[in-house]
Amino acid sequence: MILNKNFLDNKSFDKKDYNYTQDELSPGIVHIGVGNFHRSHQAYLLDALFNKRKDLDFGIVGAGLREYDTFMRNDLLKQDCLTTLVQRDESSTNTRILQSMIDFIEVDNRLLVESLVKEDIKIVSLTITEGGYYIDSYGNFNINDEEIQADIKNPDTPNTAFGILIKALKIRKENGLKPFTLLTCDNIAHNGDVLRNVMIKMSEQIDKDLSEYIKNNVSCPNSMVDRITPTATQEDKDFIENEYGYVDNRPVFSEPFIQWIIEDKFCNGRPALEEVGVMFVEDIMPYELMKIRMLNGSHAAISSVSALLNIEYVHEALEHENVKSFLDKIINKEVIPVLKDIVDVNLDEYYNTVLTRFANPYIKDTITRICFDNSNKQPKFIIDSIKDGIKNNVNVDGLILACALWCRYSTGNDENGKELDINDGRKDKLKELALKAKNNPIVFIQMEDIYGNLSQNEYFANTFENFLNSIWENGVLNTVKNYNKS
């Protein structure tokens, strides 16, 4: 049997833990970028709230802008937008069918605008990845990007998420409707501020009055999201069919841990998510910085070295003595010493939680996944820590070694000649520079949109060069071992 409403209506399905139905929901949120993470996180927490029979007018309507969103839409519509979420660790397996999404807009920008201007839409949330915000390593919005310029010149036929949102807000303003809150759920420092800056600067080039309206009336709260959600495999799909007797073509598997912290700044109402564990705060900064530097930073630190050592899963990376020691030294000696004066949280306990989560073998989080889009992740998760470490006179050799390992990884092959599965929009450019860096290391760190002016810092440049030369001359593992012993 295929997962759909008919399955939920089947008499054999145990409904005792399901206190609402999809038909009772009405749309209140449009979410752009429906991937596994959104469904394991926002959709899960909203399902939990709806199951308390609260705020049923905040049902989710999915949306997307790219061709691959069409495949997700088609699969989800076949199962009435239902999703099976399986949360697993070594001691438990909890499975739930989420009903919080009620529709998925056809991947058509005109139809998306029409949906966004409906009065009942109070929140537009986004998971469009770090690369979707057109920002450089300095945190500046690249307004000269071709796609952004095309929307500025043709505001009535936009193609970017921001052009579409600006057009929808203009129509709502003209129709006398309240604006929607823009809630980004992407892993970017001060993500709401980044989104707000993009919206204001882009709209300034289109309509100054509208830009002023957005500045004064549209809320973009900063938020911090956290739940490890790997890509579902065929084995995962088979698990559901074998254990529960139905087919879900888009299941989601995640760890039990979940965290969502949001600044309580909404301009058109919000669901009472605090009732299901969401934390609403005045300032997200301490929590966000801790998570970005220690959790995302840990993933970024072990991603390249693990790929080069032919390690398949994150939990296997932690079982590798030298990778685990490499990570421990970076976090304890280079990251925590800078954070401890900024964040009033027990950072040792937090890091232990991170390690426990990474070690969960049931997640099967792949090294390939954590290597994804590294050119956008490195500046936020590694390079910002390097800059702060240098500023605070903290030795950051391990973080610089992580940069050298990423350079070696970017050549596209490991030490045995095996091709690496590099999924990065800048793959070709990275490979070109990484190969040149074998003889002239400085060329790789001269990518200013990634490294800023770090190539001009003598300590950083010399350390990077020494590590990269060692990687080529002595090998990846020996270089990491030598760092661990230092």
Question: Does residue 208 surpass a pLDDT of 80?
Answer: yes
Q: Phi and psi dihedrals of 298, rounded to 5?
A: -65, -45
CB 38 within 8 A of CB 185: yes
Tokens of 275: 């009732």
Residue 349 CB neighbour total at 10 angstroms: 9
- Predicted confidence at residue 138, as pLDDT, reads 65
Q: Look at the chain and count its residues.
A: 486
What whole-number distance in Å separates Cα of residue 341 and Cα of residue 286? 10
Asked if residues 102 and 25 have their Cβ atoms less than 8 Å apart, the reply is yes
Q: Say which residues have a Cβ less than 8 Å from residue 463's Cβ, sequence separation at least 6.
A: 397, 400
What residues contact 432, with CB distance under 8 A and at least 6 apart? none
What percent of the chain is predicted at pLDDT more than 70? 99
Instruction: Say if residue 343's pLDDT is above 90.
Output: no
Does the pLDDT value for residue 427 go beyond 80?
Answer: yes
Res 13 pLDDT > 80: no
Q: Is 442 within 8 Å of 465 (Cβ atoms)?
A: yes
Strand 59-63 relative to strand 27-32, pairing: parallel
Task: Give the pLDDT confidence of 156-199 residue by residue, as tens digits.
Answer: 999 999 999 999 999 999 999 999 999 999 988 899 999 999 99
Mean pLDDT, residues 6-20 taken together: 85
Residue 39 has pLDDT above 80, yes or no: yes
The single-letter DSSP state of residue 366 is: B
139 pLDDT higher than 80: no
The span from the CA of 72 to the CA of 104, in Å, is 9
Instruction: Tell me the three state secondary structure of residue 86.
Output: strand
Strands (E), 18-167: 27-32, 59-63, 83-88, 93-98, 101-104, 123-126
pLDDT number for residue 15? 82
pLDDT digits (tens, 9 = 90+) for 64-108: 999 889 999 999 999 999 999 999 998 899 999 999 999 999 999
- pLDDT of 20 above 90: yes
pLDDT, tens only, 140-150: 899 999 999 99
- In this structure, the dihedral spanned by the alpha carbons of residues 349, 354, 357 and 359, taken in order and rounded to 10 degrees, is -100
Q: Which domains does the chain possess?
A: 5-281 (3.40.50.720), 285-485 (1.10.1040.10)
Alpha carbons within 13 angstroms on the beta-carbon side of residue 431 total: 14
At 442 the pLDDT is: 97
In tens, the pLDDT along 215-260 reads: 999 999 999 999 999 889 999 999 999 999 999 999 999 999 999 9
DSSP letter for 349, please. Answer: H
Tokens of 418: 């095996």
Q: Is the dihedral of CA 345, 279, 362, 231 positive or negative?
A: negative
d(CA 137, CA 176): 38
Amino acid 137: pLDDT: 59
Angle at the Cα of 328 from the Cα atoms of 403 and 441, rounded to 5 degrees: 15
Both tokens of 230, joined, read 């790997």
Residue 355 pLDDT > 90, yes or no? Answer: yes
> Around Cβ 47, how many Cβ atoms within 10 Å?
22
